[in-house]
Amino acid sequence: MKMKLYIIMLFCLMVGMYSCYDDDTTSGRKEVSLLTITAAHDTLTTSFGEELVVNHLKIEQSGEELPLTYEWAYGDLDISGGAVKPYPIKDTLHVVSTDPELKYAFRELGTFALRLKVDNGETTIFKFFILQIDTEFSEGITILSRDDAGKGRLSFMKTLTKEEISGGKVPTFRTDIMEIANPGMELENVTDMIQQGVRLMVSSGSNGRIYNMDSRSFDIETATSFGGKFPGANIQQFVAISAYSNMHVLSENKRAYVYETDVDELLVLDAFDGLEVDAGVSHSKPVFINYGTSTMYAPSTSSGAVNSGTIFTNYDIVNTCFINTYLYVFSTDKNDPLHIYIPRTSASFAKPTAANTVDYQSSRPIGMDRNSMTVGTKVYNCIYYTYNNEIYRWDPGRQLPTTPSITVPTGMEITTIAVDPDQKLLYVGLYESASTKELKGCLYIYDADSGELLETYDNIADRPLRVIYKERV
């Protein structure tokens, strides 16, 4: 049964268009009956395919009560510079009703302008609303996981509205997203997931396949395999967005590719042709690492690519992580592994200064390796990383910690870490291999400053590979 949403709202962008006659009974002229429309709110929100009902408008006439005609129509919202235009509809109007009450199931996703036109034969008036059409999957925590056979699973927990929370609704994960959105289709040998605006992409290690979805609905629009064009291009990681809004990816064959999202095409940058890289640094700008040469690379709009040159020649790069635009490089001296060197640079590889470098002799080997998962938060100016199934917090300017900040329960394996969009929460994906439950994957949410455990969600995924907060677009 379709849910009915009863929302009546006032939009201050109301344009009243009317004509009138002067009232002068001695001259035989009469006063025109003017119209006013009032409602309760500015914005109407409904779900895709669910009937929106608007029936609480108050329409008043200043003079004689004349018969009224109605017209409901919607169109693309006209916004310039972040502000709604005085006439907020651009392009074509779509008329959906001529009844006093609006009862209509919209089948487009996005934000639109809704117009009500009321006419009494003497006056015509318009009332405008902002109309948001969402799905139940528009915003919330999304987990990509895989079972022992490599089959992927998408788990999703919707972010509840204030009204839903006050009504007593409890946030829960749905673990059947693929079955709902794409019946009969499976995610094969999944490796990574990322959101890019209205696109949600999942990579597969099988034949270089990329599943390209609508992030608002999880509908798979393309699932192209690029293995024929690039044999061995088994995609392992989405690295970052380029200056031209294309996605840089890392393949199992140590090649860096560019995925053009708009045309669903994989290609190799000329600057990266023949270049072998071992890892990618996930952030707002793509950075790739060759561990053997201790060199980092990044695409450039002016020169094709830039590299770190000889900055790290004398060091073994152990791991890297961004905090905002700063790139921290965790490394050790090639001749002395106890000599730890942590400089701060950027995606353009500016030479680190002494003031922005931690350089010290340690009494123990570095408590980090190339398999350590890292994530930075600019809000608290720190980096969280994993080592030996524990989570450590490092604050720039200090030596590496020797004790963990977060210890997970016995029997739980840390499989992924991430932060929320505000960078105040730490998401930790866990796998409990000894669990008797069908789904052995869990999500723990911690305060990214104090390390306090805030929420636990058990048995909501297979083996978690990636956790993201899928934002509303």
Query: What was the pLDDT predicted at 243?
Result: 61
Q: Is residue 91 part of a domain?
A: yes
Query: What was the pLDDT predicted at 42?
Result: 77
Q: Is residue 20 part of a domain?
A: yes
Q: What are the tokens at 404?
A: 């963990």
Query: What was the pLDDT predicted at 26?
Result: 45
Query: What was the pLDDT predicted at 6?
Result: 35
Q: Is residue 376 part of a domain?
A: no
Name the domain count of the chain.
Answer: 1
Q: What are the tokens at 298?
A: 């990044």
Print the domain residue range for 54. 5-134
- In the chain, the amino acid numbered 418 is A
Query: What was the pLDDT predicted at 29?
Result: 56
Q: Give the span between the Cα atoms of 446 and 428, in whole angstroms.
A: 8
Query: What was the pLDDT predicted at 256?
Result: 94
Residue 463, CB half-sphere, CA atoms under 13 Å: how many? 15
Decide: helix, strand or coil at residue 26.
helix
Q: Give the span between the Cα atoms of 318 and 341, in whole angstroms.
A: 10
Q: Is residue 129 part of a domain?
A: yes
- One pLDDT digit (tens) per residue for the chain, 473 residues: 334 333 333 333 333 333 333 444 444 556 889 999 998 777 888 888 888 999 889 999 998 899 999 999 999 998 876 678 788 888 789 999 999 999 999 988 888 999 999 999 999 999 999 998 888 898 999 999 999 999 999 999 999 877 788 889 899 999 999 998 999 999 999 999 999 989 999 999 988 999 999 999 999 999 999 999 998 889 999 999 876 678 999 999 999 999 998 899 999 988 888 899 999 998 888 999 999 999 999 988 777 889 999 999 999 999 999 999 999 999 999 999 999 999 999 999 999 999 999 999 999 999 999 999 999 999 999 999 999 999 999 999 999 999 999 999 999 999 999 999 999 999 999 999 999 999 999 999 999 999 999 999 999 999 999 999 999 88
Q: Is residue 90 part of a domain?
A: yes
- In the chain, the amino acid numbered 417 is I
Q: Is residue 339 part of a domain?
A: no
Place of tokens 């291999």: 433
Answering whether pTM is above 0.85, one says no
Whichever domain contains 35, its CATH number is: 2.60.40.10
Place of tokens 């009243």: 16
Q: Is residue 315 part of a domain?
A: no
Q: Is residue 57 part of a domain?
A: yes
Query: What was the pLDDT predicted at 166?
Result: 82
